[in-house]
Chains A and B, each alone.
Chain A
């Protein structure tokens, strides 16, 4: 009996030693099965999302992540915002003076242009302003701040804003700022929403040339900053866009995803190739996509919102 116990103990200790050796071996050769499982899991996620399209099985997970991460992102951005202004403190008087000189020369030039245009031009501008105001009356804006930028490494240009379904924001709504078109909402959680910028390579916006009222499609190039440009394909290839022409949205049915008359950018260059059926114009966006902060989401008037709506004509509600 005692001998048997001893034998057992011997076997147990030998086993322990083997397990130790196993651990040593495992340290050198990590388990391939775990890697395979994880890679397969990632591949499954990709396939589900790729095949699913808009109603992919991962949308609930995205919505959940939006609920969880949205408030945290908003809080972080709020905490960081004061520090982002720190470089401004170090601007010298000379810098400011240069700014004033530059702005006053620009102002003088603009004034000269305005005075130089003939009466018809001015009258047309007034009519234009009038019609724009009239077409604007149908909308209201939900003010929001940008709280998160998608990393450039993801190659898709999206931002998080701190207004969600509680503020009346839904998918497929137009987002603007005071320079022009920013993009459209793709999905909204209760407190935040994801916005695809107009420069994203997946973004297509219907645009109208200001000079000839011709329509075309603007595609983002997927770059921001200095090289953030949009390509305009005109539907009618006999029309030539001019440099400096302003392109505005021509709007979709029911104002979703884009309402009409929002300025997008200016034509900077024109290409035409015999192989392509349409001419391509390069458009520089009016909005600085690397420095987005305050934006407005276009909503129907009278939308229930957790914040004050900005109604057309500057009225606050």
Chain B
């Protein structure tokens, strides 16, 4: 059962990574696209909590790092999405989160995720870019992710809620 659950999560993340490189570039703003994999990780975090989300974040990040056409140093998105999954998971509450809370979490997660990725790049001198350009890209990415939230987060959260094992009544 757990393997099946993992497989579904893997498929969702792969689909997000593929759509991110093959579908969304048609609407991209100067190459910046909505980070679908990050949205999936945040969705998982809000339903399943930090542990699952951090693990899923590592998986999704490693996929972005390795699937073509990525050519940056591998592991940087993995690190960023682990942090995102963990932090977004801490936001989870018992009650279903309100729409505002979800949007705020996505915005914060997107900002943190892109920033961690950019900072790791600055440390490793991977892309040699001006900081102002980096900040602009990060902010555009936040706007994209928030715009896509109403279309992506509800189905993703519903899916992960269905995948959740039945709670033991104690």
Contacts and interface: CB of A to CB of B under 8 A. Distances in A.
Contacts of B24: 151
A248 interface: no
A200 B65 CA distance: 17
Nearest to A21: B170
Contacts, number: 207
Residue in A20, A46, A72, A156 with the greatest tally of chain B CB atoms within 10 Å: A46
A247 interface: no
B82 A35 contact: yes
Closest 3 CB pairs of A and B: A45-B75, A152-B32, A152-B31
Interface string B74-117: 11111100110010011000000000000000000000001001
A223 B149 CA distance: 26
Interface of A: 16-17, 20, 23, 27, 30-31, 34-35, 38-39, 41-50, 56, 58, 61-62, 64-66, 68-70, 72-73, 76-77, 80, 84, 147-160, 186-187, 189, 192-196, 201-202, 221-227, 290
A46 B75 contact: yes
Nearest to A42: B79
B68 A290 contact: no
B129 interface: yes
Contacts of B32: 151-153
Interface string B6-30: 0000000010011111111110111
**Contact residues of B: prevailing secondary structure:** helix
Nearest to B140: A152
B31 A65 contact: no
Contact of A34 (B26, B28, B55, B78): B55
Contacts of B114: 153
A48 B74 CA distance: 9
Q: Which of B32, B75, B137, B168 has the most CB of A within 10 A?
A: B75
Given A62-B74, A69-B18, A76-B22, 19 more contacts: A23-B170, A30-B86, A35-B54, A38-B55, A46-B73, A46-B120, A49-B75, A61-B66, A150-B69, A150-B70, A152-B31, A153-B35, A153-B137, A155-B117, A157-B31, A189-B68, A193-B68, A196-B71, A224-B31
A221 B129 CA distance: 7
Contacts of B162: none
B68 A148 contact: yes
Given A156-B127, A223-B133, A73 B33 contact: no
A202 B22 contact: no
A192 B67 CA distance: 11
A69 B30 CA distance: 24
Given A42-B75, A65-B63, A201-B129, A225 B22 contact: no
A223 B70 CA distance: 16
Contact of B82 (A16, A39, A61, A227): A39
B50 interface: yes
Contact of B124 (A50, A72, A148, A187): A50
A45 B62 contact: yes
Contacts of A68: 67
Interface in B27-46: 28-33, 35
Contact of B31 (A66, A151, A189): A151
28 contacts: A17-B170, A34-B51, A35-B82, A38-B82, A39-B83, A45-B75, A61-B66, A65-B68, A66-B67, A72-B18, A73-B21, A73-B22, A148-B18, A148-B68, A149-B21, A151-B24, A151-B31, A151-B33, A152-B140, A153-B33, A155-B126, A158-B70, A159-B69, A222-B127, A222-B128, A225-B30, A225-B31, A290-B31
A194 B69 contact: yes
A202 B57 CA distance: 27
Contact of B50 (A30, A47, A84): A30
B127 to A, nearest CB: 4
Contacts of B70: 62, 150, 154, 156, 158, 194
